[in-house]
């Protein structure tokens, strides 16, 4: 059984990432969900296809890379290095 031409068109739009075809696909998915006689299975299918189309339309999010600060030596809780025979706490 051959698939419907609209479904083939949407699959091609997702594969080729054609902006105009993706916009049409998004419209078509929303139109199919808005039909009053749509069955729950149809709504689920077309909402899934709509999510795929939206994901394809959205530009990839670039992850931010922050420079790592180099730690300075002997920078703990502010006590500094402890030497033998030294009393801390001002006693």
- Model confidence over 1-38: pLDDT tens digits? 446 899 999 999 999 988 899 999 999 999 999 989 98
Q: Can you give the pTM of this predicted structure?
A: 0.60
Is there a domain that residue 25 lies in? yes
Per-residue model confidence (pLDDT) at position 62:
74
* Residue 17 belongs to domain spanning: 5-57
Domain count along the chain: 1
Q: Which tokens is 7 given?
A: 């479904």
Distances, alpha carbon 59 to alpha carbons 11, 19, 29, 87, in Å: 18, 11, 20, 60
Is there a domain that residue 37 lies in? yes
Is there a domain that residue 80 lies in? no
What span, in angstroms and rounded, lies between the C-alpha atoms of 51 and 24? 14
DSSP 8-class letter at 87: P
- Structural element, H or E, at residue 56: helix 40-57
Is there a domain that residue 64 lies in? no
With bands split at pLDDT 50, 70 and 90, how would you rate the model's confidence at 65? confident
């Amino acid at each position: 059984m051959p698939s419907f031409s609209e479904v083939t068109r949407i699959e091609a739009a997702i594969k080729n990432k054609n902006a105009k075809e993706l916009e049409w696909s998004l419209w078509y998915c929303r139109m199919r969900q808005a039909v009053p006689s749509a069955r729950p299975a149809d709504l689920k299918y077309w909402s899934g296809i709509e999510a795929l189309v939206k994901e394809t339309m959205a530009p990839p999010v670039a992850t931010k890379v922050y420079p790592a600060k180099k730690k300075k030596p002997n920078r703990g809780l502010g006590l500094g290095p402890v030497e033998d025979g030294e009393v801390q706490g001002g006693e």
